[in-house]
Structure 1
Amino acid sequence: MTDTASPARLLRSQRFRREREADWARLERLLDRVEKGSVARLTDDEILAVPVLYRSTLSALSVARETSLDQGLIDYLETLSARAYFFVYGARATLQDRVIGFFRIDWPAAVAGLWRETLASAALMAFGAVVAAWLVTVEPEWFYAFVPADLAGGRNPAASTETLRATLDGTDTGDGLSVFAAYLFTHNAQVAILAFALGFALCVPTAMLMIYNGATVGAFVALFASRGLGVEIGGWLLIHGVTELFAVILAGAAGLKIGWAVAFPGDRDRRDAAVRAGRPAAVAMGGVVVMLFIAGLLEGFGRQLIEDTVVRYAVAACTGLIWAAYFYGPRRRASDAR
């Protein structure tokens, strides 16, 4: 009985394969082309055909298993189905495609979607700067409450106007203000990371960090402005500060996005709301790292090489316009960019 069953099963397997092998061969050819290059090798019609052929192959695999067809055919269909699965449901983009997609679509879209939180974060930082500047103007001793003595490095209310001016126009042979710039960059980077990481705590730590960061900058600017150096310190800070402070503001916006979702989840569970808000916030935060790197280059080279205040403001204005156009300017949709 076994002897007659095996030839019959083999005949069924051959007939089954003959009826469907054209589709399997086509699917295999398409997958070979993708695996040797990229999805761009396929036409639109071929891309649409792959899911159809994949489902057909899965159906054939199910029939082959249920009717106990030969094991070789089952193994072939399992391998082909697995390959097609990764095409249909897996990540097909190359590393280069992912990087380009991040800078071209993902990052600017995430930042643009955080515009409300960005305005709130900027307002909190501006509030801290204005309050600290006003307090230092009224009573210079307030400077020490916002700028630690080791950070100021002698650039405090007790310093002479000429000493402060020398640190801005390049005539100071010391590197005190350079140390301050490096410290301020490190400080801003730490604030950015903490503002994002602590956003889940109902926005409170993030808001406090934004106010504190603004107060530090505001107090330092107020000191120089009180000596008639407000324009000069503005150019010195903004040549890299436009990028650096904007990065901190965006980090604060990302933290506020998550914190607001936790505080007011709506119809969702708090955990689900936080995860949903965290996706675009994390993308925006990934770009913040890039902005801080660019700010570091501007601080390390641009501020050192450019000593003219007008040129410093011009560079600051250009960077501001570039970021504004990049994040908020009109752009083609992903489907139109192909």
Structure 2
Amino acid sequence: MDVDAFVLTHRPSWDRLEHLVKRRRRLTGAEVDEMVDLYQRVSTHLSMVRSASGDGVLVGRLSGLVATARAAVTGARAPLWSEFARFWTVSFPVVAYRSWRWWLGSAVATLVVAVVMGVWVAGSPEVQAAVGTPADIAHIVDHEFAAYYSENPAGSFALRVWTNNAWVAAQCIGYAVVLGLPIPYVLFQNAANLGVVGGLMFDAGRGDVFFGLLTPHGLLELTAVFLAAAAGMRLGWSVIAPGDRPRAQVLAEQGRAVVSVAVGLVVVLLVSGLIEALVTPSGLPTFVRIAIGVTAEVGFLTYVIHFGRKAVRAGETGDLDDAPDVLPTG
């Protein structure tokens, strides 16, 4: 299928249907008949595009238009539980899955910076002297790092951790309005802090304590931050390189998709905060605490890959305007 020719030929029908749907409460009898006819015609267009083209954005636009038109024609709305289920099985995982290159890139870059910084700190007395006095460093590695996870009641600590992590993720997504340019700096700051503390802990022979306390919650927490950064930078890049479509249209579609990530990460970071408050400082053996963290991480990645891949194959984009708002009709 020649997608460009197809769009050029049928766009007037799509635009007309969209116009009629917006005016559905003020249509004449003839216009209602026209809307029904166009709804059926555009439904056919959607089936043709899904079977003959891999253009996910076009599929997404037509899916949203057909769903909205069906709502106007039938007047039946989907139940709330259906919308909730769709969000967790389609909207959130498909955006996360489609962002995997940005997501993986953020993770690799952060890891490289953290390791380089850690090795530099561990092997350089001059750098350590710049971080603090020997007494300050001894306090950090012998007391402060571990005490951070247990000095406050679990409930209040979980809330504080969740709020802090949600703020970091919100920054990454919010920075998309300036093309995502500050996001690499936010990631660099986190990586540098992680590397400095890790370097000090390893130099003091307490690397096992470092990983034992960081791994249970850190895997899921950092994964969520990387996903937020990926969504924000991908949105920014859509402004720089929108392809052959209007920049405003691409930005709107990507922006609505990013909302799915923002909402989904609230829950992911809540789980991470609960693990950090309840599991990390617990008296469980280190290998058990790490196993819990690894299980949470593997479970989240499996969820994203399974539902995300399935949604991509179905032509979903994660754009909230694509969500069907009607009950299935025959």
TM-score range, shorter chain: 0.5 to 0.7
Shift of 1:182: 7.3
1:237 and 2:214 correspond: yes
Q: Report the CA distance shift for 1:160/1:298 in structure 2 as closer, same or farther (over 3 A).
A: closer
Kindly, what percent of the aligned residue pairs are identical?
Answer: 30
In 1, Cα distance between the equivalents of 2:70 and 2:97?
34
In 1, Cα distance between the equivalents of 2:154 and 2:198?
13
* Aligned twin of 1:70: none
Spell out the pairing of 1:1-338 with structure 2 (5 A cutoff): 58-59=29-30, 86-88=71-73, 92-139=77-124, 142=127, 156-159=136-139, 162-163=142-143, 167=147, 186-329=163-306
SS in 2 for 1:228: coil
The aligned amino acid for 1:329 is: H
RMSD value over aligned CA atoms?
3.8
Shift of 1:206: 1.0
Superposed CA deviations along residues 194-242 of structure 1, whole A, max 9, x for unmatched, are: 1111123233201111111122222222222222221222121121112
* Aligned twin of 2:36: none
- TM-score normalised by L of structure 2: 0.64
> Is the CA contact 2:102–2:230 (under 8 Å) kept in the aligned structure 1?
yes
Shift of 1:180: 9.2
The aligned amino acid for 2:111 is: A
Q: Report the CA distance shift for 1:161/1:243 in structure 2 as closer, same or farther (over 3 A).
A: closer
In 1, Cα distance between the equivalents of 2:126 and 2:167?
26
Q: Report the CA distance shift for 1:60/1:311 in structure 2 as closer, same or farther (over 3 A).
A: closer
Any unmatched runs of 5+ in structure 2? 1-27, 34-68, 315-327
Superposed CA deviations along residues 101-127 of structure 1, whole A, max 9, x for unmatched, are: 111222111111111111122123223
Q: Report the CA distance shift for 1:162/1:194 in structure 2 as closer, same or farther (over 3 A).
A: closer
* Structure of higher CA gyration radius: 1
> Is the CA contact 1:125–1:212 (under 8 Å) kept in the aligned structure 2?
no
Shift of 1:99: 0.9
> Is the CA contact 1:156–1:223 (under 8 Å) kept in the aligned structure 2?
no
- TM-score normalised by L of structure 1: 0.62
> Is the CA contact 2:242–2:250 (under 8 Å) kept in the aligned structure 1?
yes
In 2, Cα distance between the equivalents of 1:137 and 1:319?
30
The aligned amino acid for 1:163 is: H
Any unmatched runs of 5+ in structure 1? 1-56, 63-83
> Is the CA contact 1:143–1:156 (under 8 Å) kept in the aligned structure 2?
no
Superposed CA deviations along residues 163-192 of structure 1, whole A, max 9, x for unmatched, are: 36864997xxx5599999876654433221
Shift of 1:307: 3.7
> Is the CA contact 1:136–1:142 (under 8 Å) kept in the aligned structure 2?
yes
In 1, Cα distance between the equivalents of 2:273 and 2:293?
14
The aligned amino acid for 1:236 is: L
In 2, Cα distance between the equivalents of 1:61 and 1:112?
39
SS in 2 for 1:198: helix
Q: Report the CA distance shift for 1:294/1:259 in structure 2 as closer, same or farther (over 3 A).
A: same
The aligned amino acid for 2:81 is: Q
Q: Report the CA distance shift for 1:91/1:308 in structure 2 as closer, same or farther (over 3 A).
A: farther
> Is the CA contact 2:120–2:199 (under 8 Å) kept in the aligned structure 1?
no
Superposed CA deviations along residues 135-187 of structure 1, whole A, max 9, x for unmatched, are: 32133664698x8x9xxxx99524275436864997xxx55999998766544
SS in 2 for 1:157: helix
Shift of 1:256: 0.8
Superposed CA deviations along residues 5-43 of structure 1, whole A, max 9, x for unmatched, are: xxxxxxxxxxxxxxxxxxxxxxxxxxxxxxxxxxxxxxx
